[in-house]
C-alpha cells in the first residue's frame, strides 16, 4: 500500500502575489474547496487522501491569510487618508478663521 504522488494535485492557477485582488483570491479559495471535496470522494487510499487534503488546506490557509492582510492594508490606507483629510480640513478652517480675523481687523 503505497502513497501516490501528492504533486499530482492541480495548482488551479493559484498565485500568491500582493497585487491580487480579494475577489480573485476568493475564487481561488472556492477552487481549492472544490478540490478538497473531490479528493474526499476519490478512490485514493486514506493516507493519500489525507496527504493531499492537508496540502490543499495549507494552500487554503495561506490564501485566507493573504486576504486578511490585504484587507488590513486597505483599512490602514483608508484610515491614513481620512486622518490626512481631517488634518487638511482642520488646517483650512484655522486658516479661514485667521483670514476672517484679518478682514475683521481691517473692516
Q: Which residues constitute the domain of residue 49?
A: 21-106
Above 90 in pLDDT, residue 79? no
Q: Which three cell numbers stand for residue 25?
A: 483570491
Above 70 in pLDDT, residue 9? no
Q: What pLDDT, on the 0 to 100 scale, is given for residue 46? A: 93
Nearest to 52 by CA among 65, 43, 40: 40
Whether 47 maps to a domain, the answer reads yes
Q: How many independent structural domains does the chain possess?
A: 1
Query: In terms of pLDDT, which residue wins out, 50 or 9?
Result: 50
Whether 8 maps to a domain, the answer reads no
Whether 25 maps to a domain, the answer reads yes
Whether 79 maps to a domain, the answer reads yes
Whether 11 maps to a domain, the answer reads no
What band does 27 get if pLDDT is binned at 50, 70 and 90? very high
Whether 6 maps to a domain, the answer reads no
pLDDT digits over 46-73, tens only? 999 999 999 999 999 999 999 999 888 8
Q: What pLDDT, on the 0 to 100 scale, is given for residue 52? A: 95
Nearest to 56 by CA among 19, 31, 26: 31
Average pLDDT, whole number, for the chain? Answer: 76
Whether 33 maps to a domain, the answer reads yes
Average pLDDT value for residue range 94-106: 55
Q: What is the DSSP string of the chain?
A: -PPPPGGGS--TT----TT--HHHHHHHHHHHHHHHHHHHTSSS-HHHHHHHHHHHHHHHHHHHHHHHHHHHHHHHHHHHHHHHHHHHHHHHHHHHHHHHHHHHHH-
Whether 26 maps to a domain, the answer reads yes
Above 60 in pLDDT, residue 2? no
Amino acid at each position: 500500500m503505497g502513497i501516490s504522488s501528492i504533486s499530482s494535485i492541480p495548482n488551479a492557477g493559484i498565485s500568491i502575489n500582493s497585487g491580487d485582488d480579494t475577489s480573485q483570491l476568493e475564487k481561488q479559495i472556492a477552487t481549492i474547496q472544490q478540490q478538497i471535496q473531490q479528493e474526499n470522494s476519490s478512490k485514493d487510499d486514506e493516507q493519500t487522501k489525507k496527504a493531499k487534503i492537508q496540502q490543499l488546506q495549507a494552500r487554503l490557509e495561506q490564501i485566507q491569510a493573504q486576504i486578511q492582510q490585504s484587507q488590513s492594508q486597505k483599512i490602514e490606507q483608508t484610515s491614513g487618508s481620512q486622518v490626512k483629510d481631517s488634518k487638511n480640513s482642520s488646517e483650512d478652517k484655522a486658516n479661514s478663521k485667521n483670514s476672517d480675523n484679518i478682514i475683521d481687523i481691517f473692516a
